[in-house]
Amino acid sequence: MLDRQSQRSLRTGWTAFLVLLFLSPALAVDKSGVKPTSISLPSGPGSIEGLGSDFEPHLNTGTSSYNVPISLPAGTAGHSPSLSLNYEGGFGNSSMGIAWSFSNSSIRRQCEKGIPRYEPNGADDDFDGLTDETDEQDRFLDPSGEELVLMDNGIYYPENQEQFIRWRHITTDGNDYWEGHLPSGGIQEYGLTEESRVHEGERIYKWCLQRIVDTNGNVIEYDYVRFPGSDNQIYCSAIRYGPGAPPWDAFSMVTMTYEDRPDVLDDYRSGFLMRTGKRLKQIDIALQGDLPTGHLIGDINSDGINDALIRRYVLDYETHPHWSLLSKVTIFGADGVSSLPPAEFEYGVRDQPRVVSAANAVIGTKSEPLKVMDNDFVDLIDINADALPDILRTELGGQHLAYLNQGVRTEGGRDYIQWGPPQNVDSSDNGDLALVRNLNEAEVSLTDVDGDGLADLVLNSSINPRYFKNNGEVSWGPTKIIEIKDGEDFPPAPY
């Protein structure tokens, strides 16, 4: 049992602990007026948001990606487009300059394996004895870049499924467009009319997204424009969406404004010229119908009816005559004047000189042979295995001379290649070597037959093809017969 003094000490300790326990929350209260929960940010079309997302490096490729999302008013039942400005370090050139693209969906012919044919050409393109078979016809790529595979039922599926969209190519009754049937039941339509196709005459290279319809009949429409001088190229100029199908009494819109670019881009991958002479300058998000107060009012989409601005994105580019690099994106509010701090971009650019000259950069030679590379009897080969190309000179009758490359030397501030004196190239089988004669013969070539990194001397004889091994010591090895399987022919030289 505890004595009276111990009991008194225990009660005192518990009392102090309970006092601290109940007082500590009051002492830890954060009364700051700048903490995140002190200010309630508005939501909806006028919400305050920053620009951009997280910068994402790709360690396996050494590139990186980034995007600036375009905030849009919500559509009926959530049916609205998804737009963003996308940076990808490995991307090429587009209407936003180098490495940037504006999210716009399309289906196109595959050109990575060759220029599209557009129609059967009556030729055996894969040399298998059959003409215009399935694997010789054009392939198509879906909006994600996946190759579309045609099934027996006429439906196309991506080679690698991600979104599980069923694609149909409609070519009946003079039509030529694509339908994408979504898992949700909605339909995407590409290239419904000529204005949404990249084509030259009857040859259609790309079908751009023109309409999306959800299961409730709500529609998103995409418009495209062609500018003078932009041969066969089209640009997305407007997007509209509202309740049900158009015409609408009230709807939301996105309009794109373009400017001339100094670095006109010519692209012939389609088999005809596609000239991109414009770049994206401004994106306006607006609405038409019941116009709210406090917004910039004007005819934003040029249809003769006033619209209310919701927000505006302005793009600025670095000034350079040879390329367009996006340098800044600024978002303006509904009044068209107030703005958030811009998102600014800087690049590591290897700026090549505008004039490329070989003056003072040409490396001369010393002690070079009188007969060099403009002679059919002479060629380059590493004859002594030092990883430097030497000169091999052959003569009628089988004499072979080597001039060894002794590397780059410097004299008087100038670089030059020093060549050694001529050396006889010996052989372990001089009798057969004489049969080779010289490099001027069509059946003689220099080829690495045994895979040791040194080119050997090969004689493509119709009877017994053979080669002389490069010993890497300014000499040829003995004659070795190249065995050929029964029923096969030796390839012609050079092979």
Q: Which residues of the chain have pLDDT under 70?
A: 1-53, 121, 124-127, 134-135, 351, 371, 430-436, 485-495
- Cα angle, residue 332 at apex, residues 263 and 328 outer, rounded to 5°: 35
d(CA 91, CA 65): 10
Nearest Cα residue to 426 out of 434, 418, 415, 438? 434
pLDDT of amino acid 209: 97
d(CA 424, CA 203): 62
pLDDT of amino acid 495: 41
Domain ranges of the chain: 56-344, 364-481
* DSSP notation for 199-248: EETTEEEEEEEEEEE-TT--EEEEEEE--TT-TT--EEEEEEEESSSSS-
Q: Are 45 and 335 in contact (CB under 8 A)?
A: no
Q: What is the tens place of the pLDDT at every residue in 445-490?
A: 899 998 899 999 988 877 778 888 999 999 998 888 887 766 565 5
d(CA 305, CA 287): 11
Encoded tokens for 457: 């001397």
d(CA 213, CA 202): 28
Q: What is the tens place of the pLDDT at every residue in 132-171?
A: 776 678 999 999 999 999 999 999 999 988 889 999 999 9
pLDDT of amino acid 357: 78
Q: Are strands 475-481 and 426-427 parallel, antiparallel or unpaired?
A: parallel
